Amino acid sequence: MMQTMQQVVTIAELRQHLKEARRQGKRVGLVPTMGYLHEGHLSLVNEAKKHCEIVVMSIFVNPLQFGPNEDFDRYPRDMERDLKMAASAGVDFVFSPSVGEMYPQQVKTNVSVSGVSEPLCGRSRPGHFDGVATVVLKLFQIVQPDYAFFGQKDAQQVAVVEQMVRDLSVPVTIIPCPIVREADGVAMSSRNVYLSAEERKQAAVLYRSLQLAEKKVASGADLDSVRDEMIRTIEAEPLADIDYVELLRYPDLTKPEAPEKGDRVLIALAVRFGKTRLIDNVIVTV
Ligand SMILES: Nc1ncnc2c1ncn2[C@@H]1O[C@H](COP(=O)(O)OP(=O)(O)OP(=O)(O)O)[C@@H](O)[C@H]1O
Ligand SMILES: CC(C)(CO)[C@@H](O)C(=O)[O-]
Ligand code: BAL
């Protein structure tokens, strides 16, 4: 019989439910999100259901990972809609704590992963990955999942979480999941709702530039010249304002002199359209 989904807002209550599930020998999967769900999030739930009998989705807009001038206050939120979508995707528990439940006192502990947190979004959003690592470790402590599911759209986030799990021997298996895209190639993202019609149209250049680069890198082209060509392609759209375009070895995120056969290269970008900052990437094996 299909179990009905439950929304849980306290750590204590969630722990109680999961203790019972674990006692029955069920595997627990965690899908961490910030809500305002779309097909990208639901693909993580689908994957989780393949591995686990119990799927927990967290919905929490984590203030620790937003800079002072970022969009924490205006981040899109719609819990009613999210609950309906999560239920029809087959989530068992939505964990949606308040900020006060997660952080009842000023947080004095910071989880900081050096190296992989530093380039790309780490450079543009100082402190962001400390906030991510801290909340993800806290969610792991609360849920104690067997598996946790993360989208490759945030490829650097996957690298940071995997490094943290290895370094701290966290007993969880991380499953990275492929990027889900709209028909024109734009990666699904909660922040796409901020885009005007014209910005949304021009945003299709991001995946076009990634596809172009993917082909060139796979056939051994020089990485700096691929980067230059991507920048020219993106800048042809008048509303696109580049934050970064980088090609780095994955998952250590170091700059390869010349990639060797078999190396994985992350081609990553962050581009602003008006006030909206979009990220996207592809990973190519040379
Ligand atoms: N298009 C997508 N395909 C696959 N996974 C995705 C996609 N978009 C988000 N995810 C994953 O869902 C999880 C939760 O992400 P989050 O709630 O921040 O969504 P988001 O759409 O990326 O939001 P944002 O607009 O903040 O970037 C992350 O692991 C993220 O990588
Ligand atoms: C993993 C995460 C839920 C932590 O707040 C967030 O960074 C996200 O949505 O990718
Ligand atoms: N998925 C990324 C979360 C953030 O932008 O803060």
Mutate to test the pocket of ligand 2, among 65, 103, 117, 174 (most ligand atoms within 8 A of CB): 65
Residue whose CA is at the smallest distance from ligand 2 atom 7: 132
Mutate to test the pocket of ligand 2, among 66, 150, 154, 180 (most ligand atoms within 8 A of CB): 154
pLDDT at 260 (0 to 100): 86
Q: Are 260 and 286 in contact (CB under 8 A)?
A: yes
Q: Is 203 in the pocket of ligand 1 (CB under 6 A)?
A: no
- For 269, residues 6+ apart whose C-beta sits below 8 A from its C-beta are 206, 209, 210, 230, 234, 242, 243, 244, 245, 246, 279, 280, 281
Q: Mind telling me the catalytic residues? A: 41
Q: Is the pTM of this model over 0.90?
A: yes
Closest C-alpha among 123, 97, 114 to residue 159: 114
Annotated ligand binding at 37? The verdict is yes
- Kindly give the confidence (pLDDT) of every residue in the chain, 286 residues in length, as a single tens digit, with 9 standing for 90 and above: 456 999 999 999 999 999 999 999 999 999 999 999 999 999 999 999 999 999 999 999 999 999 999 999 999 999 999 999 999 999 999 999 999 999 999 999 999 999 999 999 999 999 999 999 999 999 999 999 999 999 999 999 999 999 999 999 999 999 999 999 999 999 999 999 999 999 999 999 999 999 999 999 999 999 999 999 999 999 999 999 999 999 999 999 999 888 888 899 999 999 999 999 999 999 999 9
Annotated ligand binding at 38? The verdict is yes
- For 176, residues 6+ apart whose C-beta sits below 8 A from its C-beta are 150, 151, 152, 158
pLDDT at 261 (0 to 100): 87
CATH 3.30.1300.10 residue spans of the chain: 190-285
ipTM greater than 0.90? yes
Q: Is 139 in the pocket of ligand 1 (CB under 6 A)?
A: no
| Parallel, antiparallel or unpaired: strands 147-151 and 28-33 | parallel
Annotated ligand binding at 211? The verdict is no
Largest Cα separation within the chain, whole Å, is 58
CATH 3.40.50.620 residue spans of the chain: 6-177
pLDDT at 120 (0 to 100): 98
Query: What top-level class would CATH report for the domain 6-177?
Result: alpha beta
Q: Provide CATH code, domain 190-285.
A: 3.30.1300.10
Q: Within a 10 A sphere around the Cβ of 35, how many other Cβ atoms? A: 23
pLDDT at 256 (0 to 100): 86
d(CA 282, CA 206): 11
Q: Which three-class secondary structure string do you get for the chain? A: CCCCCEEECCHHHHHHHHHHHHHCCCCEEEEEECCCCCHHHHHHHHHHHHHCCEEEEEECCCHHHCCCCCCCCCCCCCHHHHHHHHHHHCCCEEECCCHHHHCCCCCCCCCCCCCCCCCHHHHHCCCHHHHHHHHHHHHHHHHCCCEEEEEHHHHHHHHHHHHHHHHCCCCCEEEEECCCECCCCCECCHHHHHCCHHHHHHCHHHHHHHHHHHHHHHCCCCHHHHHHHHHHHHHCCCCEEEEEEEEEECCCCCCCCCCCCCCEEEEEEEEEECCEEEEEEEEEEC
d(CA 188, CA 40): 6
- For 171, residues 6+ apart whose C-beta sits below 8 A from its C-beta are 144
